[in-house]
Structure 1
Amino acid sequence: MDEFNYQVPAEVYASRGRGAAKRPMTFYRFASAAEAIRFVMEKLPVEMLHGTVMEIGETRFIGNDIKRLYGSDEYPLARALTA
């Protein structure tokens, strides 16, 4: 991914899976993309990843895109410890 700005505001639309037309979505707004990514990866149940979209302006990032941004060396926040 080309230089991603983790400091810009982001919005997250979370659902339990693909095909959200039949499933309710929950909206979250974050001051930074880094905070939005951390929320998706550390707070949402793992089964929601593929039904989650992060929007920054007109650009959308889906589950695996968000996961890749979280795993990037450029990700600016401390990651949760894993067992």
Structure 2
Amino acid sequence: MTNGFDYSAAAELFPSRGYRGSVTVGYRRFGNAAEAVRFAIEDMPSTLLKGAMLEVNEQRFNGGEILELYQAESYPLGRPEAAL
């Protein structure tokens, strides 16, 4: 799934709704997909990842796929020690 993924492409992140429909983190646009993936995994509340959607080059990735992109060998950004 991560083969050929363009981490440098612009990306849009749509977090899921929080508890009782409140949104604690809203829609965000990123200059590159790597930053969007990093934000989704490292900064966004984990409860919002399950229903989140990342759109890159007209392809959509769900929360589990976002995690796979973060864990991929081809992920270009560093990860905190705790995330490894």
Please give the residue correspondences for 1:1-83 in structure 2 after superposition, counting only pairs within 5 Å. 1=1, 2-16=3-17, 23=21, 26-82=26-82
Structure 2: stretches of 5+ with no match in the other structure: none
> TM-score, normalised to structure 2's length?
0.84
1:58 Cα deviation after fit: 1.8
C-alpha distance in 2 between matches for 1:45 and 1:24: 13
> TM-score, normalised to structure 1's length?
0.84
1:46 Cα deviation after fit: 1.1
Q: Percent identity?
A: 42
Runs of 4 or more consecutive aligned structure 1 residues displaced over 6 Å after TM superposition = none
Aligned-pair Cα RMSD in Å: 1.8
